[in-house]
Structure 1
Amino acid sequence: MPEIRQIETTSVCNLRCVFCPYDEMTRAKHHMDVESFRNFLGRRELEHVDEIALHHFGEPFLQANFHEFVRTATNLGIGTVVSSNMTRLSEAMVERVLGAGLSRLIVSIDAAKPETYSKLRVRGRLEDVESNLRMLLRKKMEMGSSIFIQTQFIVTPENHSEVETFESRWLAEPGVDQVVIRHERTHAGQVVRHSQYQNREELRQPCRYLWESVVIMQDGTVVPCCKDFDAKAPLGNAFEQDLGEIWNGDVVQSMRRSHIDSNYGAFSLCANCSEWRGEPAFPADEAEERVRGFARLKSSFRDEPRHMRVWE
Structure 2
Amino acid sequence: MKKIKIFIDKYFLTKIEKFNPHLYRFMTYNLFKVYSEIVNSIKYKDKYFFHSISLEISTYCNRKCDYCPNKDYETPKEFMSWEIFKHVVEELKKINYTGIFQYHLFNEPLFDDRLVEFSKYVSLHLPNVTQVLISNGDILDISKAKELSEAGIDKFVVTVHDRNPEKNLERLKPIKKFLKYKMRLQTTNELYLANRGGSVDIENEKRKAQFKKCPDIRTLIITKDGDVILCCQDYFKKYVMGNVMEKSLLDIWNSYKDLREKLLKHNIVELPICKTCLNRK
The question of a shared fold, defined as TM-score above 0.5 by the shorter chain, is answered with yes
Counterparts in 2 of 1:13 and 1:223: CA distance versus 1, 3 Å: same
Counterparts in 2 of 1:236 and 1:129: CA distance versus 1, 3 Å: farther
Superposed CA offset, 1:237-285 (max 9, x none): 1233201110122xx2463477578763x422112112014xxxxxxxx
Which residue of structure 2 aligns with residue 101 of structure 1? Answer: 152
Q: Which amino acid aligns with 1:20?
A: C
Structure 2 residues without counterparts, runs of 5 or longer: 1-48
2:38 paired with 1:4 = no
Distance in 1 (CA, whole Å) between partners of 2:177 and 2:268 is 52
Counterparts in 2 of 1:3 and 1:237: CA distance versus 1, 3 Å: farther
Contact kept in structure 1, 2:56 and 2:107, CA below 8 Å: yes
Equivalence map 1:1-312=2 (5 Å):
1-24=49-72, 29-43=77-91, 44-45=93-94, 47-75=96-124, 76-77=126-127, 78-111=129-162, 116-117=164-165, 127=167, 130-131=170-171, 133-137=172-176, 139-140=178-179, 148-155=182-189, 181-193=190-202, 194-196=204-206, 207=214, 209-210=216-217, 212-249=218-255, 252-253=256-257, 255-256=259-260, 259=263, 264=269, 266-277=270-281
SS at match of 2:197: coil
Distance in 2 (CA, whole Å) between partners of 1:49 and 1:226 is 20
Counterparts in 2 of 1:263 and 1:2: CA distance versus 1, 3 Å: closer
Q: Which amino acid aligns with 1:82?
A: L
SS at match of 1:6: strand
SS at match of 1:215: strand
Counterparts in 2 of 1:99 and 1:206: CA distance versus 1, 3 Å: closer
TM-score normalised according to structure 2 size: 0.68
Deviation at 1:95, TM superposition (A): 3.2
TM-score normalised according to structure 1 size: 0.62
Q: Which amino acid aligns with 1:57?
A: F
Deviation at 1:85, TM superposition (A): 1.0
Q: Which amino acid aligns with 2:221?
A: V
CA RMSD between the two structures: 3.2
Deviation at 1:196, TM superposition (A): 4.8
Larger radius of gyration: 1
Superposed CA offset, 1:53-97 (max 9, x none): 111110011011211121122222122111111112355433321
Distance in 1 (CA, whole Å) between partners of 2:107 and 2:200 is 17
Structure 1 residues without counterparts, runs of 5 or longer: 118-125, 141-145, 156-180, 278-312
Superposed CA offset, 1:175-232 (max 9, x none): xxxxxx222221123212235587x9xxx9663544x332111221111221112212
Q: Which amino acid aligns with 2:214?
A: C
Q: Which sits farther off after the overlay, 253-262 or 89-98?
A: 253-262
Greater share of residues in helix? 2
Equivalent pairs counted in the alignment come to 227
Counterparts in 2 of 1:116 and 1:36: CA distance versus 1, 3 Å: same
